[in-house]
Amino acid sequence: MHNKGLIRLFAILFGLVCIYQLSYTYIASQIENNAEKFAQAEISENQKNYADLREEKVKVYLDSVKNEPYFIGITYEDAKNKELNKGLDLKGGINVILQISVKDILRNLANGSDDPSFVKALNEASQQQKNSQDPYVDLFFEAFDNIQGAKLASPNIFANKDLSDDINLNMTNEQVKPIIRRKIDESIVSAFEVIRERIDKFGVTQPNIQRLGDSGRILVELPGAKDISRIQKLLQSTAQLEFWEVYQVGDLIEFFVEADKIAAQNIAIQDSINNPEKEKVETQSDSTQTDQDLDELLDSSEDAEDEENELSKTNPLFAKLQLSQNRQSAILGVARINDTAVVNSYLRNEKARNLLKSEKRFLEFKWGKPAKGSEVIELYAIKGNRKDKPQLSGSVIVDANQTYTQTGEIVVSMKMNGRGSQIWEEMTTKAYENQTQIAIVLDNIVYSAPGVSNGPITGGNSQISGDFTITEAKDLANVLRAGKLPASADIIQSEIVGPSLGQEAIDSGINSFLIALVLVLLWMVFYYGKAGIYADIALIVNIVFIFGVLAGLKAVLTLPGIAGIVLTIGMSVDANVLIFERIKEELAAGKAQYDAIKDGFKNALSSILDANITTGLTGLILLLFGTGPIKGFATTLLIGILTSLFTAIFITRLFLDNYGKNNNALAFSTAATKNFLKDVFVNFLSKRKVAYIFSGALILVSIFLLSTKGLNQGVDFVGGRTYTVRFDQAVNANELEGVLIEELGSADIKTFGSDNQVKVTTNYKVDEEGIEIDEEIVSKMYSAFQPYLPDGLTLDNFSLAEGSDSEYGIMSSMKVGPTIADDIKEASFYAIIGSLIVVFLYILIRFRRWQFSVGAVVAVIHDTLIVLGIFSALYGFMPFSLEIDQAFIAAILTVIGYSLNDTVVVFDRIREYYNIHPKWNLFKIINVGASSTLSRTLNTSFTTLVVLLAIFIFGGDSIRGFMFALIIGVIVGTYSSVFIATPIMFDTSSRTKIDLSDKNAKKEDDEVDEKAKA
């Protein structure tokens, strides 16, 4: 090996850089441990809210030392910014994908147009999107083009005043489309910047915010974040701030009376339909009811609790809505929060709305912001207009801060620009003169509707009040400063992991890693003696390199990432095994040690490169198509392949050459393994018919199971919500499923890991988005599970809503909307097909014969079908999850990579024998070549299985199904490389026609075998 000094220098420098990068992680960890000790010394475990107080003390300590040098000038802030990032599954936190509504953006671009063609195209696109993966804007354009004579450049659609610089009336639809696409893209970029600014001001360390292609989706990862509910609201709030004039109670008395009568009549009609024999109920009021009559009615409704049933029929609206007695109040009345949907239906009744005078036709009823712990909510009516635009919007806000009033109330103070100040002065002047109020509406909720009693407000100053906590007020000021989102943002996929589960994942990940490492290190020493020690040193250097590169690239370490590193250990061992086996062959051929080592490395290089490139190609596809933890797995796998190649080819070589430079003898085996698999010959091709029958039977059974029983598809592929729930005692999953179905109507519960932990999956309201639905499901789950939960466990602690460190309740959750579930399924399909195509082409180029490619691809399909069949057969019976999700697709692609790795090593040796013995028939070449790789194949498969079994047994519950797929894949892949891929290549090759028959070839092979034994 030339340039040994340069390689040695590079290895030392690279190692030092990696250690330096990892030092930041060590320093950050040490300072955080000191913070924990400080917090524990400051508070007692008996104090109430111990977890909250501990977290507060930790934060105080870290804030106090963050800029103080800790080691060689490195501060905590420096260390934290450069430490090895831990992913959601190791640190806890939240990961969401937001979908920016392109439909809303189109409406905004068209100024809220009610053009029939525009509205029809929007509705058709929304309907089509449920079953299509095409972008919403494409579906909209397609629907619009199908409308006869419809023009995008219409003054009622996109040829409006706001877009006049870009679109004119003479443009065709095809000319308008690229402009609209550009405007949509600009709006999504704007939304991305708004969300990033909000997160930056929120103060989460190491946030990851990415735009996902051109889909209008934005990925937000916040490892370590605990206040999940707060973050969800922060992300989804559009910050649509509006100022509206309002109606007072006295303005709408007649409308409420008539709406109440119409509601009563409708109930009576429905009653007569349902109960034709029942006497009709007469309503109390008539069209000439006076204000005095109404007052008496309102007074009587105060005793509604006693007369609720009767009043709900005679006066249904007033049974639910308690009108204000003050005729000049902007608060029209109050209702129970649970009754708002019913009240809305009465107030929106078309017959009742038609009774409004023309100037009131555009009024909109809006609900206020309920006080904390309150069961009632206030009703307002804003003075809408034909354009549905407020007189003043939040776009005029230039600054906002959390402040206090003179009475100590927490409010948000706002400052407007010059234009806003002028309009605000005009609005407050009018309100002052008419003694009316102005409603401050944020995201369709009325926060307050203050009157103007001290004269018009000049200077553009205003306040928002609303029973805020300090945190809520700060968050509101934050989103107002960051600006509004150009469209609504829905959480279409989310994953939440509690801090307790994250710590358990770290512990189990480290344990499985260390156990696997120790087993592999011991095996290498046992099998290869002193040479194994050098391989072990190279392996440890490899691990340092991997972690150092991860830290330097600011990559995120996840639990699948740890699995990728552990799998890399097996691959690193594979490279050393290939080298050592070739060196042993050269030594057996009588070469001197120096020459044997040199030729061993040279001859093994081709197999090592081919094996690692094929695995790397599947890893690259994982990186391109995967999301979240799967990207983490792919990242560590790819980094591991590169570092493994360097350490196996160069570092191990340096040690071997250095040891042998003084003519020191180095055995590449021990007494126990010296003759293991030596001179073994197996006539694989003569057994291929048996293998075909055996594999064919397995494939047929797999296909039958897949077509009848199917697979247990996870929420990744079908949409829905899944929760990991832990109890303080063993529970019966079937019993829990029964009580939860009563609440949700749809639930699947399986024991997950230990017998006091379950995995809950439901598609309840899977098509609906919003925090309210998430909270509703959690509330119903808490209600159903309460008899099984520890005493005193509150809903907040159960739900992770406040980032509780509780050991019981919801430990993690995931939500996947049906639209993105289809996208994930499609991407997974393309990932598998893409990997097969890429591998076929690589092997075709590398071996220059299509028969090799066909044999490899058939073997991969064989392995994939059998793994799928086993998952289909065993799901529901195994004590761990066998769901088909993104992690499973990663496992399948890894199986493809491993199977190809094995197959390529065999093919490489066959090609070598083909070149060395061109006169041999293919039958003999294949048998001799495959037999000569048996030692390497079994050794590598064994060490890889040891590694995988260590993770499977000692790793976390969440990764057990993933590991099970890999274990099955390694076993099946080892078998298929010699019993499927190689025979298929032989049977499709025309070279077999050169010889008389397999029988004659077998005789020649027997002769070769006898010579080898001699």
47 — pLDDT class (breaks 50, 70, 90)? low
Q: Which residue has the higher pLDDT, 202 or 337?
A: 337
239 close to 443: Cβ distance less than 8 angstroms: yes
Q: What percentage of the chain has pLDDT greater than the value 90? A: 4
**pLDDT reading at 699 higher than 90:** yes
What is the pLDDT averaged over residues 729-738?
Answer: 84
Give this prediction's pTM.
Answer: 0.68
Q: Helices in 442-529 by DSSP H: which ranges?
A: 470-482, 499-528
Sequence-ordered list of residues with C-beta below 8 angstroms from that of 48, at least 6 positions apart, any chain: none
**pLDDT reading at 840 higher than 90:** no
**What distance in Å separates the CA atoms of residue 315 and residue 334, rounded to the nearest whole number?**
16
Q: Helices in 794-849 by DSSP H: which ranges?
A: 795-799, 818-847
Q: Mark 794-804 as b/e (b = at least 16 C-beta within 10 Å).
A: ebebbbbbbbb
pLDDT of residue 705: 92
Sequence-ordered list of residues with C-beta below 8 angstroms from that of 670, at least 6 positions apart, any chain: 526, 527, 528, 529
**Continuous segment of H or E residues that includes residue 49:** none
pLDDT of residue 701: 94
> What is the Cα 365 distance to its own chain's centre?
37
The mean predicted confidence, pLDDT, of the chain is 79
Q: Which residue has the higher pLDDT, 498 or 744?
A: 744
What does the longest C-alpha to C-alpha distance in the chain come to? 120
pLDDT of residue 703: 93
Tens of pLDDT, residues 321-375: 888 888 888 889 999 888 888 888 888 888 888 877 766 777 889 988 887 667 8
pLDDT of residue 802: 44
**What distance in Å separates the CA atoms of residue 201 and residue 194, rounded to the nearest whole number?**
11
DSSP 651: I
**pLDDT reading at 899 higher than 70:** yes
Comparing CA positions, the residue from 858, 868, 864 lying closest to residue 705 is: 868
CATH class of the 529-673 domain in this structure: mainly alpha
**pLDDT reading at 62 higher than 90:** no
305 — pLDDT class (breaks 50, 70, 90)? very low
Say which amino acid occupies 78. D
Alpha-carbon separation of residue 695 from 682, 685, 700, 865, 866 (angstroms): 19, 15, 9, 10, 9
Q: Which of 503-507, 671-675, 693-697 has the highest mean pLDDT?
A: 693-697
Alpha-carbon separation of residue 97 from 252, 491, 496, 1009 (angstroms): 43, 6, 12, 62
Retrieve residue 849's tokens: 């014969």
Q: How many other CB atoms are found less than 10 A from the CB of residue 977?
A: 28
pLDDT of residue 993: 41
pLDDT of residue 498: 66
**pLDDT reading at 290 higher than 50:** no
**pLDDT reading at 503 higher than 80:** no
Q: What is the DSSP string of 699-734?
A: HHHHHHHHHHT---B-HHHH-EEEEEEE-SS---HH
Strand partners of residue 725:
758, 810
For residue 955, is it left (φ>0), alpha (ψ between -120 and 50) or beta? Answer: beta
CATH architecture for segment(s) 243-484: 2-Layer Sandwich (3.30)
**What distance in Å separates the CA atoms of residue 982 and residue 682, rounded to the nearest whole number?**
13
For residue 451, is it left (φ>0), alpha (ψ between -120 and 50) or beta? Answer: beta
878 — pLDDT class (breaks 50, 70, 90)? confident
| Listed range (220-229, 361-370, 602-611, 741-750) with the worst mean pLDDT | 220-229
What is the pLDDT averaged over residues 472-494?
Answer: 74
pLDDT of residue 204: 61
Q: Classify domain 721-814 at the CATH topology level.
A: Alpha-Beta Plaits (3.30.70)
194 close to 483: Cβ distance less than 8 angstroms: yes
800 — pLDDT class (breaks 50, 70, 90)? low
CATH superfamily of 677-719+817-1014: Multidrug efflux transporter AcrB transmembrane domain (1.20.1640.10)
Comparing CA positions, the residue from 287, 266, 429 lying closest to residue 342 is: 266
Tell me the domain boundaries of the chain: 15-83, 243-484, 529-673, 677-719+817-1014, 721-814
What is the pLDDT averaged over residues 372-398?
Answer: 81
How many residues are given for the chain? Answer: 1014
| Listed range (239-248, 436-445, 713-722, 821-830) with the worst mean pLDDT | 821-830
What is the pLDDT averaged over residues 773-793?
Answer: 82
**What distance in Å separates the CA atoms of residue 640 and residue 622, rounded to the nearest whole number?**
15
pLDDT of residue 1014: 42
pLDDT of residue 668: 80
Lookup result for tokens 């109440």: 260
Sequence-ordered list of residues with C-beta below 8 angstroms from that of 689, at least 6 positions apart, any chain: none
What is the pLDDT averaged over residues 525-554?
Answer: 89
374 close to 225: Cβ distance less than 8 angstroms: no
Comparing CA positions, the residue from 647, 643, 649 lying closest to residue 601 is: 649
pLDDT of residue 310: 60
Retrieve residue 495's tokens: 């994953």
Sequence-ordered list of residues with C-beta below 8 angstroms from that of 38, at least 6 positions apart, any chain: 57, 58, 61
**What distance in Å separates the CA atoms of residue 248 and residue 282, rounded to the nearest whole number?**
30
347 close to 269: Cβ distance less than 8 angstroms: no
Comparing CA positions, the residue from 258, 426, 251 lying closest to residue 349 is: 258
The reply to whether 677-719+817-1014 shares the fold of 529-673 is yes
700 — pLDDT class (breaks 50, 70, 90)? very high
Comparing CA positions, the residue from 602, 623, 507, 517 lying closest to residue 565 is: 517
pLDDT of residue 316: 86
Burial of 170 (0-12, 13-18, 19+ CB in 10 A): exposed
Sequence-ordered list of residues with C-beta below 8 angstroms from that of 799, at least 6 positions apart, any chain: 775, 778, 779, 782, 809, 810
Retrieve residue 79's tokens: 């260390």
Tens of pLDDT, residues 931-962: 888 887 888 888 888 888 888 887 766 678 88
Lookup result for tokens 């040695």: 8
| Listed range (49-53, 447-451, 584-588, 849-853) with the worst mean pLDDT | 49-53
Sequence-ordered list of residues with C-beta below 8 angstroms from that of 635, at least 6 positions apart, any chain: 550, 555, 556, 561, 564, 623
**What distance in Å separates the CA atoms of residue 780 and residue 773, rounded to the nearest whole number?**
11
| Listed range (277-281, 380-384, 687-691, 832-836) with the worst mean pLDDT | 277-281
